[in-house]
Amino acid sequence: MRLGFFGINIGACADPAGATAVAQAAEECGYDSVWTGEHVVLPDPQAPPSPSPPDSPFLDPAVALAYVAAGTRTIKLATGIIILPQRNPAVLAKEMASVDVVSGGRLIFGIGIGYLKPEFDALGIPFDRKGARSDDYLAAILALWTQPQPSHRGEFVSFAGIQAMPRPVQRPHPPIVVGGGSPQAFRRALRHGNGWYGFARSLATTAEALAAIRAARAAVDRPPALGDLEITITPTETLDRDTVRRYEDLGVHRLAILGIEPTTEKLIALIRTTADRVRL
């Protein structure tokens, strides 16, 4: 089992010095990755299903990860997740390739389709058919990252006769992780993802999701080159060795603990005590 830390661009980690200190502590304690979240805007006043108060600071994932990359050496830098249909795919491909380059090939590219309609409305992006838009955007990004002469013709984006340099360091491309708990998200992960990410899941809800993924596998033609689907969970339980074993028995490969403490010092203490409890 690998450990990660979720929240490297949020709250106390929206302070750049704090984010670097937290990432360095995670690296020193043997964590394999730090993860960003994303909300470009938040509804004000807060109303369900919005997860955060409107004044919650969220640094842009690319900016936060590039900054943290400069202060670390080996820890992987993951978007957990970027809301793909809200982004211009060519611009996002450039941003994420740049993070991979400046970090020496440490990016994990986590994507989701989003669920807050006010966020889409504020950005002028249609809320309907966001799944189809996401699939088209991901195909466009992969074309920009992998094709010698990138071209793509899709429903939502088309291009040809261009180049987008530099390419990511990782070849053929950084690992793609698909987040979300819908049947469509499970199928998207199986078709396109190196991994699936489940946020704020208990042992019980993780078991339900993994059973649904196994059931979906029979109906999805997963490309052999993707290999096994790596499972990352942000758990709701406090971790100890027994709890980690139980997640591992379900088929989970990484637990990215939720960093919601109010200060950098408390986040670093959480990282260290969790590592001690599971004897990482």
Work out the angle between the directed axes of helices 16-28 and 264-278 (0-180°, nearest 10).
10
Tell me: the pLDDT tens digits for 100-143?
999 999 999 999 999 999 999 999 999 999 999 999 999 999 99
Rounded-to-integer distance, Cα 264 and Cα 178, Å: 29
Sign of CA dihedral 8, 13, 16, 18: negative
| pLDDT value of position 280 | 65
| pLDDT value of position 160 | 98
Query: 37-61: buried (b, 16+ CB within 10 Å) or exposed (e) per residue?
Result: bbbbebbeeeeeebeeeeeeebbeb
| pLDDT value of position 269 | 97
Give me 126's structure tokens. 């249609």
Rounded-to-integer distance, Cα 126 and Cα 211, Å: 32
Tell me: the pLDDT tens digits for 179-213?
999 999 999 999 999 999 999 999 999 999 999 99
Q: Where are the domains of the chain?
A: 13-179, 193-265+275-280
Average of per-residue pLDDT across 169-176: 98
| pLDDT value of position 12 | 96
Nearest partner of 6 among 51, 70, 55, 53, judged by Cα: 51
| pLDDT value of position 176 | 98
Share of the chain above pLDDT 70, in %: 100
Average of per-residue pLDDT across 73-101: 98
pLDDT band at 170 (very low <50, low <70, confident <90, very high): very high
Can you point out the beta strands (E) in the chain? 2-6, 33-36, 76-79, 82-83, 107-112, 152-153, 158-159, 176-179, 195-201, 230-235, 254-258
| pLDDT value of position 184 | 96
Tell me: the pLDDT tens digits for 139-158?
999 999 999 999 999 999 99
Half-sphere exposure of 208 (CA within 13 A, CB side): 8
Place of tokens 């920009």: 144
Fold of the domain built from segment(s) 13-179: TIM Barrel (3.20.20)
In this structure, the number of other CB atoms found within 10 A of the CB of residue 204 comes to 10
Please state, rounded to an integer, the average pLDDT across all residues of the chain. 97
Half-sphere exposure of 42 (CA within 13 A, CB side): 19
Tell me: the pLDDT tens digits for 227-246?
999 999 999 999 999 999 99
Helix (H, G, I), strand (E, B) or coil at 45: coil
Average of per-residue pLDDT across 8-37: 97
For the entire predicted model, the pTM comes to: 0.97
Strand 176-179 and strand 254-258: the pairing is: unpaired
Rounded-to-integer distance, Cα 6 and Cα 234, Å: 7
| pLDDT value of position 279 | 82
Rounded-to-integer distance, Cα 124 and Cα 112, Å: 18
Place of tokens 């027994």: 242
